[in-house]
Amino acid sequence: QAQSQSQTTEALRQTRASQAQSQSQTTEALRQTRASQAQRQSQATQALRQTQASQAQRQSQATQAPRQTQASQAQRQ
């Protein structure tokens, strides 16, 4: 009986250790998923920033072109 109880206690200890490890792995997986999502979100924000900067640059060039045309016309005139 003492040996049986000892084996049961050992089995219970291993089960608890296994559950703790499983929980730790789940937490790690969740942490990695969050980190991955944060990175993806950061990349999406970065892409959006670059697009907006590119659009602002295009808009600036478009504004610059009529100015140059007007200056050229004034010079011709």
Whether 64 has a pLDDT exceeding 90, the answer reads: no
Measure the N-to-C terminal CA separation of the chain; round to a whole number of Å. 113
pLDDT of residue 69: 82
> What pLDDT was estimated at residue 18?
92
Looking at residue 4, what DSSP letter applies?
H
Residue 73, pLDDT score: 80
Residues 51-73: b if buried by 16+ CB within 10 A, e if exposed: eeeeeeeeeeeeeeeeeeeeeee
For 1-36, what is each residue's pLDDT tens digit?
A: 788 888 889 999 999 999 999 999 999 999 999 999
